[in-house]
Structure 1
Amino acid sequence: MAQISEATSNRGVVLDIKDGDLNINDHNPTPSFVPKTNEDLGPCVTVLLIQKVLAELAGTFFLIFAGCSTKEANLDKENVVTLPGTALAWGLLVMVLVYSLRHISGSHLNPAVTIAFASCRKFSWKMVPAYISAQVIGSTLASGALRLLFNGKHDHFLGTAPGGSDVQSLVMEFMITLFLLFVVSSVVTDNRAVKKLAPLVIGATISVNVLVAGTISGASMNPARSLGPAIVWHHYKGLWIYIVGPISGAIGGAWLYNIFRPTEKSLHDITKSWPLHRGSGRVCSA
């Protein structure tokens, strides 16, 4: 049976449900209520999981609505935002949303990220269908809202499409998503990393990737980003590229970083065992 542990501090009560699926003890958690006994565990888990899924839906909605609006502005106003502006916008959006939602759902906002984390045992496979469904629904709702808002002569397809050959786009999506998940795995899942600036680093990586691949593949890196507009505009040509490329790249990037993860200990715990910390005056002994 899952156990509940409570820790009190000046921030309040921290909830830690040790069942392998839920661990709400990061920074300043704010669960709706804290169970007193194991009999209260079921309703509490349900509430927390609903909060997580809704956070993924809302976050993906905001991401796609604002991000795709830059494409609409470029199409309507003769590239007024430009590629660097688009790259900056997507990067800032991801940074802001990760800062806003990481303590609630982890702020995946991307089926490729969810699957990659699950493949490395950094996320429960049981939650993958719910997360992906929320992300795709959020993207579809945002795309639908944009199509209602920009109709008539302003009705443009706001999804992603290959700028060159399908092979070029597939390889580019694979590579930039591999790079993205390599960075994300470094700053998010490694206990030795300094995590306070993780959202800033992730946002910067998104911006770099858009600059690199924006004119070639559209720099999706996110199946939900491509699926939502495709569903709303019924534009499915080349859609497989934006599902296969990001998912395979994300898994590859997450596993590639695992090569550099020899331990789950934090840097503080590792260095405590060094001879210098024991007063020997030497870094190593013969």
Structure 2
Amino acid sequence: MATNSRSNSRATFSSEIHDIGTVQNSTTPSMVYYTERSIADYFPPHLLKKVVSEVVSTFLLVFVTCGAAAISAHDVTRISQLGQSVAGGLIVVVMIYAVGHISGAHMNPAVTLAFAIFRHFPWIQVPFYWAAQFTGAICASFVLKAVLHPITVIGTTEPVGPHWHALVIEVVVTFNMMFVTLAVATDTRAVGELAGLAVGSSVCITSIFAG
């Protein structure tokens, strides 16, 4: 009986070792695949397409908003303050629906940073998006300077009251814009199809109030 007990124990122990070895062998490929998939997520093949989309969308955002503001400052009869605010909001809506499915249509380094902080965007792609946004904005500025000559003030706004008033207003309107953007773009319970309209309306409202 003792011999049978030892034989059963050895068989059970051998079976357990075999099972552990089987599990280890079966999990090793999946672990390797997970690592490769993570790298692919950080540097997807279509990253260049996303970067180009950010360059184009940021270029058009700056071109329209700053161009409308410059024309309004030069001749208010052509574009009113309300008109330039609506133009800024509409271009945001249009760009979100145009390239949102490609790059997310951040068009703003602050938006990219906020998405990364709240873990809705990989940190490793942040420098690429920032470079794209800076490139688009700078190119739009030079184009506006060329086509709006002799207008020299290109969309520059100045506070009309105390500087601390302007600071408080900027904090409030920036919070409003970022709150709406994060709420509709990152919360799965929000209606994704209306995200562009919500963000664009937020930009329009803040521009009307504080522009």
- TM-score by structure 2 length? 0.78
- Distance (Å, rounded) in 2 between the aligned partners of 1:149 and 1:2: 52
CA deviations on 1:120-145 (whole Å, 9 max, x unpaired) are 11111111111111111111100100
Instruction: Tell whether the 8 Å contact from 2:96 to 2:196 is kept in structure 1 after alignment.
Output: yes
CA deviations on 1:249-270 (whole Å, 9 max, x unpaired) are xxxxxxxxxxxxxxxxxxxxxx
| Alpha carbons of structure 1 residues 176 and 22: separation in structure 2 relative to 1, 3 Å | farther
- Distance (Å, rounded) in 1 between the aligned partners of 2:85 and 2:155: 15
Q: Which residue is equivalent to 1:116?
A: 114
Q: Aligned runs of 1:1-286 on 2, under 5 Å?
A: 1=32, 18-19=37-38, 22=41, 45=44, 47-152=45-150, 154-214=151-211
- TM-score by structure 1 length? 0.58
- Distance (Å, rounded) in 2 between the aligned partners of 1:201 and 1:151: 34
Quote how far apart the aligned CAs of 1:50 are. Answer: 1.0
Q: Which residue is equivalent to 1:11?
A: none
- Distance (Å, rounded) in 1 between the aligned partners of 2:206 and 2:145: 26
Unaligned runs of 5+ in 2: 1-31
Instruction: Tell whether the 8 Å contact from 1:114 to 1:131 is kept in structure 2 after alignment.
Output: yes
- Distance (Å, rounded) in 1 between the aligned partners of 2:187 and 2:143: 38
CA deviations on 1:179-205 (whole Å, 9 max, x unpaired) are 112111221101111111110111111
Unaligned runs of 5+ in 1: 5-16, 24-41, 215-286
Q: Output the amino acid matched with 2:79.
A: V
**Matched residue pairs, number?**
180
Q: Counterpart of 1:196 in 2: which secondary structure?
A: helix
Structure holding more strand per residue: 1
Higher RCO (CA < 8 A, seq sep 6+): 2
The percentage of counterpart residues that share the same residue type is 34
Specify the structure having the higher radius of gyration (Cα): 2
Structure holding more helix per residue: 2
| Alpha carbons of structure 1 residues 122 and 78: separation in structure 2 relative to 1, 3 Å | same
- Distance (Å, rounded) in 1 between the aligned partners of 2:33 and 2:67: 45
